[in-house]
């Protein structure tokens, strides 16, 4: 079992997806339980990985390598290090809790869970693949279920959002494919191994080809993160996607982009990364400020959360662009923390939406009912739903970077690292923190404090099922906020972080 | 090899000719029951020819089986193509059995023409002489004209055939003119002799040879470009594809296009290029830069095909434009003059056969059941015929080039070959085209899955269609996960220099 655990991780959800297809359509309960069992098993496996993981070994662990297509030196090559294990854990955890958040979906459940499990399986594949072709295959497979999950089960403008998501990401990934091929032909002997290509990549230094390849990878990953100006698909996709899919999208899919930067751009093409370092940092700052400003302007709570994601991912970029130990650690930590917190945020939005059937903080000016247009839509939810409000406050404070919760650690470390290299940019990005506090607190004030809105007298308190999906995330946020070393010690069980100073000697 | 001795190696074509003639005669004997029996008779012929092709594979490795005094080349390259033609012809015969479009007029001659056209294709892929190249191309064309106009009482079908004839006549006439210039320049009609003679002419710096050669190349390209429907010789294909009976459309877009590529590769690699010793690449003879010319054509072909496909509401027409675009992708690898480019093209043709025939099969059966080829007719197909919708999704995603389907691997090899030759600009145009193509393919998928059907009545699917869908969807998925056998075959199918 130990030797094949990574294969099991991606295979179990995909087999589960096929099993779901075999269950008769009307047995929705069995389908739901099946999905819960499958994601539960992967979570247990992930926890086992976490326990068993050797924290002193910087190389890849649980490696599996089998020749796939010999003629082209394509291998079935899996393995994880201290960085990717956290992505695997995050996927397993969010995959599990989002299954419960999916309970309320009542349209074509069979198709939904089959696609959902396929998505989760492919995500495990992305985070454990060490062969570029395998990586790319898993990467692209995540697109297919996502398209249908948004397009069939989404909100009113779902078709537009789904195709936009699909086209944007495919645009990015085909450029990535070219970059992969260029690296392949540059290596000698030709290889698709993400490990061996580090040598090739470092050998080509800052040649034009290296920069071109770097940009190819960068665009592929930037669309996913999303980095300004490739971000416009994100608010659309989030607003239309059903709650659990938003959770996976924000919590895990966005991380594929930054994970790619950490696994590919930085270690394989370090010289080109340095060359583009300032560019990356500037984009990070744009993401932070622009994302927060947009969030500040939103009247729809889900859009607010979506734009806040853009801002928070900016800290990841800024941290990475510093190439310092603190910055990179902060970036990875921020990925993890944002995965948990954005998962929570989308879940709490979903809870409210299920009850009120809208998510407006303030009704828009062109609202269908002119009586309500421009007015506050909620108010005093703190009195009406005290437990729910507690959870929301936790998620909001975590996201705005309250010390003691995980968001603080990630942002602080990223800024700490970045300040050594880009003092001015870092100072500017702090504005994002202020805006972040502003939009979260403002939303809190307008929705949860003040006079209770009589329209929502008797609104149902958060249910046990909904709490079940929120509490694990909440505990993780707290745990990582208090003991960040649990994660950071493990990050160092990776060659990239161990050799950071040799890879980027001039920083 | 002399004529009599060659016959032994000409077995697949001989079998096909025998069955083509047999089809006409048996049609007179069987009369009424002919419609029922003829498809199976034809299939037997195709099967026997296929077996003959397989049995020739060891012979193709022999020293120099140049048949009929150097007219025909028996190499693994031509055998690979012959196998492709026979498999697709067999699928077309099966497609035609139930389709209401032509079932009423289908008789022996339909099958005889199909077989004749297949013979022509086999010759196109193995011709190493200009005369035979021209004759085989005409053989394919003429039988295709008739097959296109087979729905006699159908105005669009006749219009299509008419356009096809006119375009074809002009194109092949131009090509013939190009051939005559080549003959005038070199005094030979055999491709190898032409190459040797051109080499000499360029070496001697004969005045005017560059100009004459480039003019000849462009003219020849008119005929070849018309067969593979590349820009600017593509204008016929949407109308012809739309008007022709759908099985024939599928045949044209797969087999006929493949035959065009076979001849094109042979002509350019043997006639206008020479192998570089001890490597797996070829070089252009003299200063004849036809590579750039083809690169520009490839870029325009895929872009035009894809951009025009976006606006189509008729699925058959959409697939016609998409098929133009796929021609462009393949052309991109052909012009590289490398072994990996040729292998990628051959592999892609094999993959393309399954996914494109699959997509056309869905068009056929929906047109049969619902009487429409419009995308709107596919609304809510996922609830009315889940299996059809699923297979169509696989075919379309595969055509887009998404993993884990065969189309992805095909495109991977194509782009890999282009990148290997450092033609980055072409590769970028190519991948961006894939993104464009996603838009219109997904539109069909969207209609099937996201739009509500006007009626929920399930579609009845005849067993034959179900089997055929399976037969096409399985390779489309399987070759996306494990493609080594087909790739090995394609890799071995090289032109002997």
pLDDT above 80 (res A3): no
In this structure, what token pair is assigned to residue B35? 């419609």
In this structure, what token pair is assigned to residue B279? 């490597």
**Chains A–B, number of C-beta pairs less than 8 Å apart:** 77
CA dihedral A197, A200, A204, A205 (to 10 degrees): 70
Phi, psi of B281 (to 5 degrees): -125, 165
pLDDT above 90 (res B57): no
Element (H, E) at A65: strand A61-69
B130 pLDDT band (50/70/90 cuts)?
Answer: very high
B348 pLDDT band (50/70/90 cuts)?
Answer: very high
In this structure, what token pair is assigned to residue B342? 């040729």
CA A238 remoteness from chain centre: 12
For B149-207, where are the alpha helices, taking DSSP H only?
155-186, 191-203
Paired strand residues for A77: A65
Asked whether B103 and B151 are in contact (CB, 8 A), the reply is no
Q: The whole model's pTM is what?
A: 0.90
Across residues B74-85, what is the average pLDDT? 91
Å between A194 CA and nearest CA of chain B? 17
Paired strand residues for A61: A80
Across residues B102-113, what is the average pLDDT? 81
Peptide bond before residue A189 is cis, with ω within 30 degrees of 0: yes
Q: Using CA atoms, how far apart are residues A246 and A238, in angstroms rounded to an integer?
A: 6
Across residues B392-400, what is the average pLDDT? 94
Domain boundaries, chain B: 297-497
What are B458-475's pLDDT values in tens digits? 888 888 999 999 999 999
Across residues A101-107, what is the average pLDDT? 85
Asked whether A174 and B434 are in contact (CB, 8 A), the reply is yes
pLDDT of residue B278: 65
B481 pLDDT band (50/70/90 cuts)?
Answer: confident
pLDDT of residue B496: 64
pLDDT of residue A287: 92
pLDDT of residue A507: 63
| Cβ count near A121 (within 10 Å) | 26
Asked whether A380 and A450 are in contact (CB, 8 A), the reply is yes
Across residues B192-208, what is the average pLDDT? 87
Across residues A442-461, what is the average pLDDT? 84
The answer to whether the Cα torsion of B290, B292, B293, B298 is positive or negative is positive
Domain boundaries, chain A: 276-507
Across residues A287-297, what is the average pLDDT? 92
Across residues A464-476, what is the average pLDDT? 89
pLDDT of residue B63: 60
Of residues A185, A17, A212, A216, the one with CA closest to residue A113: A17
pLDDT above 80 (res B103): no
Q: Using CA atoms, how far apart are residues A97 and A299, in angstroms rounded to an integer?
A: 27
ipTM > 0.95 (yes/no): no
Q: Using CA atoms, how far apart are residues A251 and A230, in angstroms rounded to an integer?
A: 18
Backbone dihedral region of A452: left (phi > 0), alpha (psi from -120 to 50 degrees) or beta?
Answer: beta
pLDDT above 70 (res B483): yes
Cα distances (Å, whole numbers) of residue B39 to A115, B26, B61, B359 = 41, 12, 34, 22
Across residues A284-289, what is the average pLDDT? 92
Q: Using CA atoms, how far apart are residues B26 and B45, in angstroms rounded to an integer?
A: 13
The answer to whether the Cα torsion of B161, B351, B87, B468 is positive or negative is negative
When CB atoms are compared, the residue of B404, B415, B488 closest to A177 is B415
**Which residues does chain A have within 8 Å of residue B402's beta carbon, measured at their own beta carbons?**
140, 143-144, 170
DSSP B459: P
What are A397-445's pLDDT values in tens digits? 999 888 889 989 999 999 999 998 899 999 999 888 899 899 999 988 8
B85 pLDDT band (50/70/90 cuts)?
Answer: very high
pLDDT of residue B490: 87
pLDDT of residue B60: 63
When CB atoms are compared, the residue of A72, A140, A171 closest to B402 is A140
Q: Using CA atoms, how far apart are residues B62 and B356, in angstroms rounded to an integer?
A: 34
**Which residues does chain B have within 8 Å of residue A171's beta carbon, measured at their own beta carbons?**
432, 435
pLDDT of residue B314: 92
Asked whether A138 and A118 are in contact (CB, 8 A), the reply is no
pLDDT of residue B64: 63
Q: Using CA atoms, how far apart are residues B81 and B338, in angstroms rounded to an integer?
A: 19
Across residues B352-365, what is the average pLDDT? 94
pLDDT of residue B4: 82
pLDDT above 80 (res B297): yes
**Which residues does chain A have within 8 Å of residue B415's beta carbon, measured at their own beta carbons?**
177-178, 181
Q: Using CA atoms, how far apart are residues A196 and A211, in angstroms rounded to an integer?
A: 19
pLDDT of residue B7: 83
What are A72-89's pLDDT values in tens digits? 888 899 999 989 999 999
B450 to chain A: closest CA residue: A152
Element (H, E) at A365: none
Answer whether A171 sits within 8 Å of B449, measured CB to CB: no
pLDDT of residue B2: 79
Phi, psi of A154 (to 5 degrees): -85, -170
Phi, psi of B433 (to 5 degrees): -65, -35
Q: Which residues of B62-96 are buried (b: 16+ CB within 10 A; e: fewer)?
A: eeebbbbebbbbbbbbbbbbbbbbbbbbbbbbbbb
DSSP B205-257: T-TTHHHHHHHHHHHHHHHHHHHHT-TTS-THHHHHHHHS-HHHHHHIIIIIH
pLDDT above 70 (res A2): no
pLDDT of residue A473: 92
How many Å from the N-terminal Cα to the C-terminal Cα in chain A?
Answer: 42
Q: Using CA atoms, how far apart are residues A41 and A9, in angstroms rounded to an integer?
A: 9
B33 pLDDT band (50/70/90 cuts)?
Answer: confident
pLDDT above 60 (res B497): no
Asked whether B342 and B280 are in contact (CB, 8 A), the reply is no
pLDDT above 90 (res A365): no
pLDDT above 70 (res B488): yes
Asked whether A436 and A428 are in contact (CB, 8 A), the reply is no
Asked whether A209 and A182 are in contact (CB, 8 A), the reply is yes
Percentage of the residues of chain B whose pLDDT score is greater than 90: 52
Q: Using CA atoms, how far apart are residues B35 and B28, in angstroms rounded to an integer?
A: 11
pLDDT above 80 (res B105): no
**Which residues does chain B have within 8 Å of residue A144's beta carbon, measured at their own beta carbons?**
397, 402
Q: Using CA atoms, how far apart are residues A169 and A165, in angstroms rounded to an integer?
A: 6
Q: Using CA atoms, how far apart are residues B143 and B225, in angstroms rounded to an integer?
A: 19
DSSP B405: S
DSSP A362: B
Q: Using CA atoms, how far apart are residues A254 and A264, in angstroms rounded to an integer?
A: 16
Across residues A293-306, what is the average pLDDT? 90
pLDDT of residue A321: 92
Average predicted confidence (pLDDT) for chain B: 89
Across residues A184-193, what is the average pLDDT? 88
Answer whether B408 sits within 8 Å of A137, measured CB to CB: yes
**Which residues does chain B have within 8 Å of residue A143's beta carbon, measured at their own beta carbons?**
402
| Longest Cα–Cα distance in chain B | 75
pLDDT of residue B61: 64
Å between A427 CA and nearest CA of chain B? 38
Across residues B420-428, what is the average pLDDT? 89
What are B161-184's pLDDT values in tens digits? 999 999 999 999 999 999 999 999
Which stretches of chain B sit within 8 Å of chain A by CB? 397, 402-404, 408, 412, 415-416, 419-420, 424, 427-428, 431-432, 434-435, 438-439, 442, 446, 449-450, 483-484, 487-488, 491
Element (H, E) at B466: helix B463-481
């Amino acid at each position: 079992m130990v030797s094949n655990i990574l294969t099991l991780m991606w295979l179990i959800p995909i087999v589960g997806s096929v099993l779901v297809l075999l269950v008769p359509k009307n047995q929705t309960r069995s389908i739901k339980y099946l999905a819960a069992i499958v994601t539960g098993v992967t979570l247990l496996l992930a926890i086992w990985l976490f326990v068993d993981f050797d924290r002193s070994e910087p190389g890849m662990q649980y490696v599996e390598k089998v020749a796939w297509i010999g003629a082209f030196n394509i291998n079935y090559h899996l393995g994880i290090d201290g960085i990717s294990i956290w992505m695997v854990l995050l996927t397993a955890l969010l995959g599990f809790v989002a299954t419960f958040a999916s309970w309320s979906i009542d349209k074509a459940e069979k198709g939904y869970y089959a696609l959902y499990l396929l998505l989760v399986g492919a995500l495990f594949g992305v985070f454990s693949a060490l062969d570029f072709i395998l990586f790319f295959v898993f990467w692209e497979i995540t697109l297919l279920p996502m398209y249908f999950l948004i397009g069939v089960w989404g909100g009113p403008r779902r078709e537009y959002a789904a195709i936009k998501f699909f086209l944007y990401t495919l645009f990015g990934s085909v450029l990535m494919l070219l970059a992969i091929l260029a690296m392949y032909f540059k290596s000698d002997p030709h290889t698709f191994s993400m490990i061996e290509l580090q040598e090739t990549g470092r050998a080509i230094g800052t040649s034009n080809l290296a920069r071109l390849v770097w940009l190819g990878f960068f665009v592929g990953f930037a669309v996913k993160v999303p980095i300004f100006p490739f971000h416009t698909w994100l608010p659309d996709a989030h607003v239309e996607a059903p709650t659990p899919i938003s959770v996976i999208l924000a919590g895990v899919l966005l991380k594929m982009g930054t994970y790619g930067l950490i696994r590919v751009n930085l270690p394989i093409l370090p010289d080109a990364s340095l060359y583009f370092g300032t560019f990356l940092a500037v984009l990070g700052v744009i993401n932070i400020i622009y994302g927060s400003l947009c969030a500040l302007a939103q009247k729809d709570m889900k859009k607010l959360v979506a734009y806040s994601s853009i801002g928070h991912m900016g800290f990841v970029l800024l941290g990475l662009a510093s190439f310092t130990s603190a910055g990179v650690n902060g970036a990875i930590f921020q990925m993890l923390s944002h995965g948990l917190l954005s998962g929570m945020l989308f879940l709490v939005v979903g809870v409210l939406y299920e009850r009120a059937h809208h998510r407006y903080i303030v009704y828009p000016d062109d609202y269908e009912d002119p009586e309500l247009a421009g007015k506050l839509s909620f108010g005093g939810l703190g009195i009406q739903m005290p437990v729910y409000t507690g959870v929301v406050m936790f998620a909001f404070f975590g996201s705005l970077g309250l010390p003691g919760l995980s968001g603080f650690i990630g942002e602080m470390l990223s800024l700490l690292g970045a300040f050594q290299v880009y003092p001015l940019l870092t100072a500017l990005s702090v504005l994002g923190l202020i805006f972040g506090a502003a939009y979260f607190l403002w939303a809190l004030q307008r929705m949860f404090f003040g006079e209770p809105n009589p329209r929502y007298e008797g609104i149902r308190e958060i249910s046990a099922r909904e709490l079940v999906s929120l509490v694990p995330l909440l505990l993780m946020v707290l745990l990582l906020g208090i003991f960040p070393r649990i994660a950071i010690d493990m990050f160092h069980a990776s060659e990239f972080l161990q050799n950071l100073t040799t890879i980027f000697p001039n920083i | 090899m002399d004529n009599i001795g060659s016959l032994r190696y000409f077995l697949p074509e001989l079998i096909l000719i025998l069955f083509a003639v047999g089809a006409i005669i048996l049609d007179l004997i069987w009369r009424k029951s002919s419609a029922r029996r003829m498809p199976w008779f034809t299939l037997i012929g195709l099967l026997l020819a296929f077996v003959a092709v397989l049995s020739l594979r060891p012979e193709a490795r022999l020293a120099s089986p140049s048949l009929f005094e150097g007219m025909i080349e028996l190499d693994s390259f031509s055998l690979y193509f012959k196998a492709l033609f026979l498999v697709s012809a067999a699928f077309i015969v099966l497609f035609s059995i139930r389709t209401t479009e032509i079932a009423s007029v289908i008789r022996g001659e339909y099958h005889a023409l199909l077989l004749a056209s297949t013979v022509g294709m086999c010759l196109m892929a193995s011709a190493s002489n200009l005369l035979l190249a021209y004759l085989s191309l005409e053989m394919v064309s003429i039988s295709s004209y008739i097959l296109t106009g087979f729905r006699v009482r159908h105005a669009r079908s006749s219009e299509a055939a008419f356009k096809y004839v006119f375009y074809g006549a002009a194109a092949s006439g131009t090509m013939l003119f190009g051939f005559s210039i080549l003959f005038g320049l070199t005094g030979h009609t055999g491709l190898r002799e032409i190459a040797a003679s051109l080499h000499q002419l360029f070496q001697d710096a004969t005045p005017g040879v560059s100009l004459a050669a480039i003019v000849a190349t462009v003219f020849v390209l008119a005929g070849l470009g018309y067969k593979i429907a590349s820009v600017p010789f593509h204008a016929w294909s949407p109308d012809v594809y739309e008007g022709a009976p759908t099985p024939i459309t599928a045949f044209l877009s797969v087999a006929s296009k493949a035959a065009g590529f076979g001849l094109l590769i042979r002509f350019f690699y043997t006639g206008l290029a020479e192998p570089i010793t001890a490597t797996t690449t070829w070089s252009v003879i003299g200063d004849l830069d036809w590579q750039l010319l083809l690169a520009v054509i490839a870029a325009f072909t895929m872009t035009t095909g894809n951009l025009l496909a976006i606006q189509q509401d008729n699925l058959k027409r959409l697939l016609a434009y998409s098929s133009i675009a796929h021609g462009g992708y393949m052309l991109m690898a052909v012009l590289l003059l490398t072994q990996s480019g040729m292998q990628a093209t051959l592999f892609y043709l094999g993959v393309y056969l399954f996914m494109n025939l699959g997509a056309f099969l869905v068009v056929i059966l929906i047109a049969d059941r619902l009487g429409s080829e419009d995308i709107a007719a596919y609304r809510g197909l996922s609830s009315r015929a889940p299996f059809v919708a699923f297979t169509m999704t696989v075919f379309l995603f595969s055509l887009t080039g998404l993993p884990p389907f065969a189309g992805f691997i095909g495109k991977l090899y194509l782009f890999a070959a282009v990148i290997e030759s450092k033609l980055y600009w072409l590769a970028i145009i190519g991948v961006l085209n894939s993104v464009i193509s996603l838009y219109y393919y997904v539109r069909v998928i969207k209609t099937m899955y996201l739009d509500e059907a006007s009626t929920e009545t399930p579609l009845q699917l005849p067993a034959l269609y179900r089997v055929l869908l399976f037969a096409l969807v399985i390779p489309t998925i399987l070759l996306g996960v494990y493609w080594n056998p087909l790739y090995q075959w394609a890799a071995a199918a090289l032109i002997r220099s």
